[in-house]
Amino acid sequence: MCGIAGIVTNDKSAVPAAPIEAMLGALAHRGPDGQGRYEAPGIALAQARLAIIDLETGGQPLFGPGGSVLVANGEIYNYVELRRDFSGANFATKSDCELPLYTYARDGGSFAHDLRGMYGIALHADADYLARDPFGIKPLYYVKYAKGVIFASEPQAILKTGLVERRIRNEAANELLQLQFTTGRETIFAGIERVLPGETIALRNGDLAERRIEPALPDAPLLELPEDEALARLDAALMDSVMVHQRSDVPYGLFFSGGIDSTAILACMAKLNDRPVRCFTARFPETSKSEEAAHARQLAKAAGAEAMEVEVTAERFWAELPAIVRAMDDPTSDYAIVPTYMLAQEAAKEMKVVLCGEGGDELFGGYGRYRSAQRPRWLGGKALRSRGFLDGTQVLRDESRDWRTNIAVAEARAATHPRTRVQRAQAADCTDWLPHDLLTKLDRCLMAHSLEGRTPMLDPVIAGLAFRLPDAMKIRGGLGKYLLRKWLEKTMPNARPFAPKRGFTVPVEEWIAGRAAKLAPLVARQTAHVCYPDAVERLFTSYSGGDKRHGIACWQLLFYALWHRIHAEGADASGDVFDCLEST
């Protein structure tokens, strides 16, 4: 796990040292264990390293057959198996990231096809390549500028070069306020784009050339198999995925909520490890709403795990929110950023790697919106994300539905395959919601503390089974994730996977309610380029708690006000929320 960066020029001119140094400095939190550089006519590559595998000799850049060179961010989990395909090769290291150099020598631009893992890769050979894993677990961004292409693991590193104008796209700000993330290839920063999940881009003569995609989801018929066989296959897939996701030369733990997905991973880890699993759970001691910490504590004890609870309080929320927002340069206003950041802060004190349950809902059909997707429109079915967070508030200057354009494109693309309605909704979520919200949140919150997050549910072995399950093995009796629940009922009965779900939420609207009047003019001022200030003030001053939708609208605006203050205006994020918003 690392941060990578580089510049490719269109005239083979030398890359100046200053922008590379600036990017390395901006990525230092992603790789505090060392730095590496490579320079040749027309190209410069750099890496900030977080050492996880092959601690002694795994530094980058890595060199391969025919003079190829690579820097990578992430993990190739099947590197042990891939090495067997190159039995005659003279590997220079034990690093998992050396393998793409050899698959490139064999497969050319399709070098990522056999990689099982999470990665952002830059590879220099006969052409230059940027590649990202199929689910988009690891980030990679690029921008075209007058002399070529700049790329990095985070947009803020690209901006630090001084070669690109820092300009916010108002249409993307609108999208963020309505969706809590931004969609598609374009980011909120004008000109800076994402390498899409599964995409490999060839750069020739310092310009973008061919693109190819490795899909995350299988394009194959539904599996017709009895439940007992499906459970046996699920058991094998889960154990295999968790096993390879534990490949590490440093200690690892688990982010554990007590929900279905993280409990399934805990059950596998408990079987695979001789030592107790170290679990980290967020607890909200002040909220009036139900939360799952007590249940998680009981399950951890039953599994023989060591439980560590991290308190997420209103005091910490107000004190640390600017630092959390600073980490979200590619913004997602998902309020789960708050506990995720605080869990990472605690876990990083004793380890470098944590596993988590992201992706279980998307692959096994866990969301309520998938149950709605089963029904045709005339029976109450509806499109995904048909309503924005600020709909009805009359605060936005642009009240068009343009914020939903890329969601509609993803839905239309998903519908071109012979899939069920549930599969189409899952595929649409895997296009934007998963990589641009959940996985961006995970990457930035953890890497802010030099902590690697691993997602065993987002694995081709799991996807090859889970996505192809018939709808009835995903949704049954009004509950999603039926087969995963059934497996957990058999494997860890005290998890009570078919019991009514305990509510889990981050009480941001409760916390905001007590300070809404003070926030009103500060948020109105910072959002005036996309919102009507008077309407924003009215929204805050009229909020006293109780109405969740009203409270979440206030949260959306507060997040964006802080984000714009820090990432557009360059404000200091070292103080609390009011220090940040009040500073001039």
**Domain boundaries defined on the chain:** 2-213, 227-368+435-495, 508-582
**pTM of this prediction?**
0.96
Distance CA 474, CA 477 (A): 10
pLDDT at residue 27, as a whole number: 98
CA distance 348 to 343: 9
pLDDT score recorded for residue 288: 61
Contact 428, 407 (CB under 8 A): yes
| Residue 350, burial from CB neighbour count under 10 angstroms (0-12, 13-18, 19+) | exposed
Q: Which of 236, 173, 162 minimizes the C-alpha distance to 466?
A: 236
DSSP secondary structure of 531-558: B-HHHHHHHHHT--SS-HHHHHHHHHHH
Q: What is the model's pLDDT at position 374?
A: 80
Q: What is the pLDDT of residue 384?
A: 78
Q: Are 555 and 549 spatial neighbours (Cβ–Cβ below 8 Å)? A: no
pLDDT number for residue 233: 98
What is the pLDDT tens value at each position of the chain, 584 positions in all? 689 999 999 999 999 999 999 999 999 999 999 999 999 999 999 999 998 987 777 789 999 999 999 999 999 999 999 999 998 899 999 999 999 999 999 999 999 999 999 999 999 999 999 999 999 999 999 999 999 999 999 999 999 999 999 999 999 999 999 999 999 999 999 999 999 999 999 999 899 999 999 999 999 999 999 999 999 999 999 999 999 999 999 999 999 999 999 999 999 999 999 999 999 999 998 776 656 788 899 999 999 999 999 999 999 999 999 999 999 999 999 999 999 999 999 999 999 999 999 999 999 999 999 998 887 765 556 677 889 999 999 999 999 999 999 999 999 999 888 899 999 999 999 999 999 999 999 999 999 999 999 999 999 999 999 999 999 999 999 899 999 999 999 999 999 999 876 656 799 999 999 999 999 999 999 999 999 999 999 999 999 988 999 999 999 999 999 999 999 999 999 999 999 999 87
So what's the pLDDT on residue 476? 95
The pLDDT value recorded for residue 289 is: 61
pLDDT at residue 375, rounded to an integer: 74
Helix (H, G, I), strand (E, B) or coil at 7: strand
Name the superfamily (CATH) of residues 2-213. Answer: Aminohydrolase, N-terminal nucleophile (Ntn) domain (3.60.20.10)
Residue 26 to residue 98: CA distance in whole angstroms: 25
Cα 162 off chain centre by: 27
Helix, strand, coil share (%) of the chain residues, nearest 5? 45, 15, 40
As a whole number of angstroms, the distance between CA 338 and CA 289 comes to 17
227-368+435-495 CATH fold: Rossmann fold (3.40.50)
Rounded CA separation 246/529 (Å)? 46
Instruction: Give the rounded distance of the alpha carbon of 360 from its chain centre.
Output: 13
Catalytic residues: 2
At residue 291, the pLDDT reads 64
